[in-house]
Structure 1
Amino acid sequence: MAEQRIAPTPANFAVWFHYFAGSHDDLRNAIDLLIDHNRPFDVRTNQDLFDTYVAPQAGAVAFETSERLHALMGAAKEFLATAIADNHSQMQAISEVADQGKAGVDPKALVAQLMSELARAATRATRLEAGFAEKTRELDVIRDSLSKSEERARTDTLTGLANRRALDEFLRKAQATADWGEPLSVLLLDIDHFKTFNDNFGHGVGDQVLRLMAKVLREKVRAHDLPARYGGEELIAVLPDADLATCVEIAERIRRAIADCRITRRSTGEVLPSISISIGVAQYRSGEAISDLIERCDRALYLAKGGGRNRVVTEIELDRAGAAG
């Protein structure tokens, strides 16, 4: 932690305890990627790691859900036991009426008795049906709660994009498909001069800009692509079934949309200076590690920054730059 200049807070200790204990593969992969790409472990990145991989809310939700399901199953067992007992009582009563019929009892009295038994059975059935309907509604509530909890666990709280956990899962699935011959491309974007922007206007405005970037990214990628927050001010999009040319086209669409944005400070109405982004683009090579794909994207991104910013650079230009060097 000292080597990465990480503040010794309880949340940060929890993150790195799990990292060195090796108890969370996704957390280890996320931290290793950050270290490999020389990403700073700033306050926001540390909080993202804690919220995504360590936060205790998931355990609390799981415990609460388990308790509610246990109570629900207990109630369902009681309903079923009651239904079985009622059914047995009803069959016994009807059998007794039948026996009286054989004994020559007045048919009118038998009909009245039978109608009475059937009415009681109908009442019991209605009551049981209402009870089961109520428990079904409770089950729907639990299912909805679990779904929302899972969604929160996979979503970055600031931008609303997929977080690193969701990104890692999506990349693993996309890689498996790509190894069968389908193209897979990735774009990595970073806001130009974002530190200066934050210093001049404050982190609140910086967060507003990040949310705007996320909105544009979400709108410009395709429905089956995954836009996600990679870390800090870097956003990423994974594009299954997209070759390098398609990915570049989408990246340019994003870059132009950002350049056309006009940001207004909410507190004062002040129109802020325009912003721009740099984007690196790379295509997956069958059999390679995902970290290698992202590393090429990262190098292309920094070549874009070194080349003047507000531009898209692909891995092809990396090869050219290497040849020229």
Structure 2
Amino acid sequence: MRYPDSMARSAEYLRLALPLMTRQQTALHPISYAVWYEFVSGRNVPLVRALQERTRDGALLDEETTAALYREHVAEPVLDPRDARRVSEGLSRVLDNMASTAAQAGDQTARFDQSLLEWSRQLLDGRQAGEEQARQLQALMAGTREMRAAMATLQQRLDANQAEIASLREEVSQARSEALVDALTGLANRRAFEQQLARCLAGGEADQSHCLVLSDIDFFKRVNDSYGHSFGDQVLRTVAQSIKRLAGESRLAARVGGEEFALLLPATALPEAQALAEQLRSTIAASRIRRGESAQTLERVTLSLGVTQLARGESANEFFERADRALYASKRSGRNCVTVLAAKAA
């Protein structure tokens, strides 16, 4: 569900994207379409800015630039190649150290075994004098000490390697975690939202009552045009923190588009979801966001919100699209309001 858009909205994006695509020096292939689809949808703010920069003063995109934009801004997030290389090199170093230490311990064990074998032969022979036996016993004791030292070294190396493996595991975990977080707002990103939604619809959780709240900042383009992208980013962060604060620990707050946010409410009744959406709307409407350190009074920021509840047996797309329809009903009703759209009875 990378593009959870309704048929009508996706058709509108197609209508807007095609003229932009045909002006470029790039063939009309899926990669080019994905780039321009995300541009006209406005959901991918970094891509929007990068495209505006690359096409300034009438510049056109070629195949190489289009592919680079796709890799950087559209392709699904994966472990950074530098992180992957560092983890790979770290694991190789750990394994090499373990192999080397094990080999050293093996050599010590072989020498100790040879000493035991020699001592056993001499005992069975019975012809060695007591003095010779004492000499061999001292050699055996020396071998025992070497063996003990080798095993201690092995244990130290294993402890150190275990700590390094734990550190590498933490790096991988951190990288994966960062791949699920929206860098600008600190909320979960669209990928994390889709994963959590899939879990809600899987197994026994699908039989529970889940609600979804979609919200969109009203006239956000006007905010950017009037005050600049830096202030627009500040607005996004402020709204995101309000959503996160109201969501609490048990609910997922995510940024799923440019100025669009989602609030996934597990095991929540529809009236409770509506009340939470109304609380969020009134909180944002009552707030005032200053432009940096300026005391300048700015036009207030408002949200349009749509609320719905998961119906038994429906798909993630159906669930999301109904919340999206509720959101657009709020926009058509004059914005800064909450619309609830219940699922149709089976």
With the shorter chain as reference, the TM-score category is: 0.7 to 0.9
- Number of positions where the alignment pairs a residue of Structure 1 with one of Structure 2: 303
1:184 paired to 2:199 = no
1:65 aligned partner: 87
265-274 vs 208-217, greater mean Cα deviation: 265-274
Q: Which amino acid aligns with 1:171?
A: L
- How far apart are residue 19 of structure 1 and its match? 7.4
1:91 to 106, 113, 116: 113
Aligned partners of 1:44 and 1:232 also within 8 Å: no
CA RMSD of aligned residues (A): 3.6
1:295 paired to 2:321 = yes
1:255 paired to 2:281 = yes
1:105 paired to 2:127 = no
**3-state SS of the aligned residue for 2:207?**
coil
What runs of 5+ residues in structure 1 fail to find an aligned partner? 21-26, 320-325
**3-state SS of the aligned residue for 1:121?**
helix
Within 5 Å, give how 1:308-323 maps onto structure 2: 308-316=334-342
- Rounded to whole Å, the distance in 1 between the matches of 2:188 and 2:82 is 22
- Rounded to whole Å, the distance in 1 between the matches of 2:182 and 2:305 is 21
Aligned partners of 2:304 and 2:335 also within 8 Å: yes
1:82 aligned partner: 104
1:202 to 228, 239, 245: 228
TM-aligned CA distance change 1:4 to 1:88, over 3 Å: farther
- How far apart are residue 229 of structure 1 and its match? 0.9
2:152 aligned partner: 126
- How far apart are residue 95 of structure 1 and its match? 4.2
Aligned partners of 2:180 and 2:188 also within 8 Å: yes
2:53 aligned partner: none
1:235 aligned partner: 261
Report the identity percentage. 28
1:226 paired to 2:252 = yes
**3-state SS of the aligned residue for 2:18?**
coil
- Alpha-carbon displacement from aligned partner over 1:251-283 (angstroms, at most 9, x marks no partner): 223223323433232243545443221211011
2:312 to 286, 308, 312: 286
- Alpha-carbon displacement from aligned partner over 1:121-180 (angstroms, at most 9, x marks no partner): 222222222222332232122212211211122221111212222222222121124774
Q: Which amino acid aligns with 1:66?
A: S
1:304 aligned partner: 330
1:17 paired to 2:31 = yes
**3-state SS of the aligned residue for 1:187?**
strand
Aligned partners of 2:305 and 2:337 also within 8 Å: yes
TM-aligned CA distance change 1:19 to 1:178, over 3 Å: farther
TM-aligned CA distance change 1:232 to 1:220, over 3 Å: same
TM-score scaled by length of structure 1: 0.77
1:3 paired to 2:15 = no
Within 5 Å, give how 1:33-44 maps onto structure 2: 39-40=41-42, 43-44=45-46
- How far apart are residue 52 of structure 1 and its match? 5.9
TM-score scaled by length of structure 2: 0.73
Q: Which amino acid aligns with 2:239?
A: M
2:164 aligned partner: 138
1:23 aligned partner: none
**3-state SS of the aligned residue for 1:199?**
helix
- How far apart are residue 236 of structure 1 and its match? 0.6
